[in-house]
Amino acid sequence: MADMSITSPNLLAADDVSENEPREECGVFGVWAPGEDVAKLSYYGLYALQHRGQEAAGIAVGDGSQVIVFKDLGLVSQVFDEQTMAAMVGHVAVGHCRYSTTGSTTWENSQPIFRTTAAGSGIALGHNGNLVNTAELAGRARDLGLTGSAGATSDSDVLGALLAHGAADRTIEQAAMEVLPTVEGAFCLTFMDENTLYAARDPHGVRPLSLGRLDRGWVVASETAAFDIVGASFVRDIEPGELLAIDADGVRSKRFAEATPKGCVFEYVYLARPDSVINGRSVHATRVDIGRRLAREHPAEGDLVIPVPESGTPAAVGYAQESGIPYGQGLMKNAYVGRTFIQPSQTIRQLGIRLKLNPLKDVIRGKRLVVVDDSIVRGNTQRALIRMLREAGAAEVHVRIASSPVRWPCFYGIDFASPAELIANGMESEEGMVDGVRQAIGADSLGYISNDEMIKATEQPSSKLCAACFDGHYPIPLPKETSMGKAVLETMLKNAAEDLGETATVDPLTSANDNVSAVMRP
Q: Does residue 177 lie within any of the structural domains?
A: yes
Question: Where does a domain end: 193, 228, 261?
Answer: 261
Give the Cα separation of 309 and 441 in Å (integer): 18
Sign of CA dihedral 376, 381, 384, 388: negative
Indicate if 319 and 227 belong to the same structural domain: no
Is 311 within any annotated ligand binding site? Answer: yes
Three-state DSSP class for 171? coil
CATH number of 37's domain = 3.60.20.10
CB 474 within 8 A of CB 204: no
Pairing between strand 304-307 and 368-373?
parallel
Question: Where does a domain end: 422, 441, 460?
Answer: 460
Indicate if 204 and 288 belong to the same structural domain: no
CATH number of 321's domain = 3.40.50.2020
**Residue 26 annotated as catalytic:** yes
Q: Does residue 386 lie within any of the structural domains?
A: yes
Indicate if 342 and 456 belong to the same structural domain: yes
CB 164 within 8 A of CB 115: yes
Region of residue 239 (phi > 0: left; psi between -120 and 50: alpha; otherwise: beta): beta
Is 469 within any annotated ligand binding site? Answer: yes
Three-state DSSP class for 336? coil
Indicate if 240 and 330 belong to the same structural domain: no
Give the Cα separation of 472 and 480 in Å (integer): 15
Q: Does residue 489 lie within any of the structural domains?
A: no
Helices then strands (H, E): number in the chain? 17, 26
Q: Does residue 486 lie within any of the structural domains?
A: no
Q: Does residue 58 lie within any of the structural domains?
A: yes
CB 69 within 8 A of CB 84: no
CA diameter of the chain? 73
Residue 101 main-chain phi, psi, to 5 deg? -90, 170
Which residue blocks in 355-426 are alpha helix, DSSP H? Answer: 361-364, 380-391
Give the pLDDT confidence score for residue 79 in this predicted structure. 94
Which of 409, 178, 159, 402 is closest to 269 using CA atoms? 402
Spatial CB neighbours of 450, under 8 Å, sequence gap ≥ 6: 297, 404
Is residue 112 reached through a cis peptide bond, with omega within 30 degrees of 0 on the bond before it? yes
Which of 360, 251, 358, 369 is closest to 303 using CA atoms? 369
Q: Does residue 473 lie within any of the structural domains?
A: no
Which is catalytic among the residues 26, 176, 363, 406?
Answer: 26
Give the Cα separation of 455 and 452 in Å (integer): 5
User: Cα 437 to the chain's mean position, in Å?
Assistant: 27
Task: Using alpha carbons only, give the angle 489, 491, 493 rounded to the nearest 5 degrees.
Answer: 70
CB 219 within 8 A of CB 41: yes
Please state the domain count of the chain. Answer: 2
- Residues of the chain falling short of pLDDT 50: 1-19, 101-103, 339-343, 483-517
215-238 tens-digit pLDDT: 999 999 999 999 999 999 999 999
Give the pLDDT confidence score for residue 157 in this predicted structure. 86
Is 373 within any annotated ligand binding site? Answer: yes
Residue 315 main-chain phi, psi, to 5 deg? -65, -35
Give the Cα separation of 51 and 46 in Å (integer): 9
Which of 280, 293, 290 is closest to 313 using CA atoms? 290
Sign of CA dihedral 335, 338, 343, 346: positive
Give the Cα separation of 400 and 365 in Å (integer): 20
Instruction: Calculate the CA dihedral of residues 289, 290, 292, 298 and round it to 10 degrees.
Output: 170
Three-state DSSP class for 453? helix
Indicate if 229 and 307 belong to the same structural domain: no
- Beta-strand (E) ranges in 63-121? 67-73, 92-98, 113-116
Indicate if 243 and 367 belong to the same structural domain: no
CB 55 within 8 A of CB 99: yes
182 to each of 24, 176, 177, 367, 441, how far by Cα in Å?
24, 10, 10, 57, 45
Three-state DSSP class for 416? coil
Q: Supply the angle between the helices 451-458 and 283-297 in degrees, to the nearest 10.
A: 150
Instruction: Calculate the CA dihedral of residues 372, 378, 384, 386 and round it to 10 degrees.
Output: 30
CB 382 within 8 A of CB 407: no
Indicate if 79 and 200 belong to the same structural domain: yes
Three-state DSSP class for 459? coil
Give the pLDDT confidence score for residue 25 in this predicted structure. 67
Instruction: Calculate the CA dihedral of residues 289, 377, 22, 340 and round it to 10 degrees.
Output: 120
Question: Where does a domain end: 435, 460, 485?
Answer: 460
Indicate if 184 and 256 belong to the same structural domain: yes
80-95 tens-digit pLDDT: 999 999 999 999 999 9
Indicate if 397 and 285 belong to the same structural domain: yes
Domain extent at residue 126: 27-261
Indicate if 159 and 221 belong to the same structural domain: yes
Which of 360, 338, 418 is closest to 75 using CA atoms? 338
CB 97 within 8 A of CB 76: yes
Give the pLDDT confidence score for residue 54 in this predicted structure. 87
CB 62 within 8 A of CB 122: yes
Is 345 within any annotated ligand binding site? Answer: no
Indicate if 244 and 348 belong to the same structural domain: no
Question: What pTM, to 2 d.p., does this model score?
Answer: 0.86
Give the Cα separation of 455 and 264 in Å (integer): 11
Is 188 within any annotated ligand binding site? Answer: no
Give the pLDDT confidence score for residue 13 in this predicted structure. 27
Spatial CB neighbours of 324, under 8 Å, sequence gap ≥ 6: none
Q: Does residue 469 lie within any of the structural domains?
A: no
Indicate if 312 and 404 belong to the same structural domain: yes
Q: Does residue 15 lie within any of the structural domains?
A: no
